Amino acid sequence: MCTGRVDPAFIFRAFANGQDGVFIGGCLLGECHYITEGNYDALNMVHLCKRLLEHIGLDPERLRIEWISSAEGIKFADIMNDFGTTLKELGPLGEAEGLSQEELKSGIDEVTRLIPYIKVKKREKLEMRFKKEEDYKGLYSRDEIEKLFSDTASYYIDPEKCQACMICGKRCPVEAISGARNVIHVIDQEKCIKCGSCYEACPPRFGAIDKLCGVPVPPSIPEGERTKVKVRSRG
Q: How many CA atoms lie within 13 A of 159 on its CB side?
A: 17
Bridge-partner residues for 154, per DSSP? 212
Q: What is the pLDDT of residues 161-196, one digit of tens each?
A: 999 999 999 999 989 999 988 899 999 998 898 889
- Measured distance CA(229)–CA(215) in Å, rounded: 30
Classify strands 209-212 and 22-26 as parallel, antiparallel or unpaired.
unpaired
Bridge-partner residues for 65, per DSSP? 24
The confidence score (pLDDT) of residue 231 equals 52
Q: What is the pLDDT of residues 44-73, one digit of tens each?
A: 999 999 999 999 999 999 999 999 988 999
Q: What is the pLDDT of residues 70-116, one digit of tens each?
A: 899 999 999 999 999 999 999 999 999 999 999 999 999 999 988 98
The confidence score (pLDDT) of residue 203 equals 95
The confidence score (pLDDT) of residue 91 equals 96
Angle at 40 between CA 5 and CA 2, to 5 degrees: 30
Confidence of residue 214 (pLDDT cuts 50, 70, 90): confident
The confidence score (pLDDT) of residue 120 equals 87
Bridge-partner residues for 26, per DSSP? 67
- Measured distance CA(44)–CA(146) in Å, rounded: 18
Counting residues of the chain whose pLDDT is more than 90, the rounded percentage is 72
* Share in percent of the chain as helix, strand, coil (round to 5): 45, 10, 45
Confidence of residue 230 (pLDDT cuts 50, 70, 90): low
Contact 119, 126 (CB under 8 A): yes
64: left (phi over 0), alpha (psi -120 to 50) or beta: beta
pLDDT at residue 228 greater than cutoff 80: no
Q: Kindly report the backbone phi and psi dihedral angles of residue 177, in degrees, each rounded to the nearest multiple of 5, phi listed first.
A: -110, 120
Confidence of residue 224 (pLDDT cuts 50, 70, 90): confident
Q: Could you give the 3-state DSSP secondary structure of residue 65?
A: strand
Average pLDDT over the chain reads 92
The confidence score (pLDDT) of residue 125 equals 94
- Residue 175: CB atoms within 10 A of its CB come to 10
Instruction: Tell me how far apart the terminal alpha carbons of the chain are, to the nearest angstrom.
Output: 66
User: How confident is the model over 11-31, as a mean pLDDT?
Assistant: 95
